[in-house]
Structure 1
């Protein structure tokens, strides 16, 4: 860990900067269609933080928000389009994309929405059909 467990994050152009502090509540890979379309990739590497662990330090006025459901408020930089994080108010968590966190040891522990996967990943981690029960999902595992 570095600097009292504070990690620096930013968008692609640097107009928006923020920090995450402490330890994430969880880390993993999301394979759902919504995350794939938003990230323009086959999978999203997520880190989940309590909302008060995320602090905008620069460029609040450059942050745009999009939500196609009340479950996810996706944030991005209005200058460069770089993705920042997604607020999940119902879960009481904020998903900070692993790729925007500098000097952070990403250590995934689960795959969620693996039944929607377009990129099979044979890494020995648990694969969930949707979400774990404690996050409102079925808690059902699927084969790797």
Structure 2
């Protein structure tokens, strides 16, 4: 960490390095099939940042992208295959995967797409069927 609000991160091999500055707009868990498939895990831990908070400091030429839908532009390193970001153009935010920012204190606030959960979590956080109303979802909450 270079300052209290700047965090350094990298892909799996370190070819792509970046910083995020300030504070994330939101942190939580996504249970959607796309995130689960992409992360090869039962749930994805996300941190959403304004694009101007993210700065690639090394290896931009190693970043590749894939868009299954226009809602998400997933990015990874072409050397190690390490997943690093997902741009969400409609939201004007980028998901920097929590696992690639080792010094960021993960403080999840919500679960999204909980109706698709394969790993149910009892943690007292709000669980949304899809996403909150203010970002285009139904806003419907689910019980633990």
Indicate the TM-score class for this superposition, using the shorter chain for normalisation: over 0.9
Shift of 1:143: 1.1
Q: Does 1:34 align with 2:34?
A: yes
- Aligned partner of 2:100 in structure 1 is 100
Q: Does 1:56 align with 2:56?
A: yes
Mapped partners of 2:2, 2:109: distance in 1:
21
Mapped partners of 1:131, 1:86: distance in 2:
16
Aligned residues: 144
Secondary structure of 1:46's match? strand
Shift of 1:66: 0.3
Q: Deviations over 1:19-65 (max 9, x none)?
A: 10000000000000000000000000000000000000000010010
Check the 8 A contact 2:2/2:8 in 1, yes or no: no
Secondary structure of 1:37's match? helix
Mapped partners of 2:6, 2:63: distance in 1:
21
Mapped partners of 2:62, 2:28: distance in 1:
28
Q: Which runs of 5+ in 2 are unaligned?
A: none
Q: Which runs of 5+ in 1 are unaligned?
A: none
Shift of 1:2: 5.8
Shift of 1:4: 4.1
- Aligned partner of 1:80 in structure 2 is 80
Structure 1 runs (4+) greater than 2 angstroms displaced? none
Secondary structure of 1:74's match? strand
Shift of 1:102: 2.3
- Aligned partner of 2:46 in structure 1 is 46
Q: TM-score by structure 2 length?
A: 0.98
- Aligned partner of 2:142 in structure 1 is 142
- Aligned ranges 1:13-24 → 2 under 5 Å: 13-24=13-24
- Aligned partner of 1:67 in structure 2 is 67
Secondary structure of 2:128's match? coil
Q: TM-score by structure 1 length?
A: 0.98
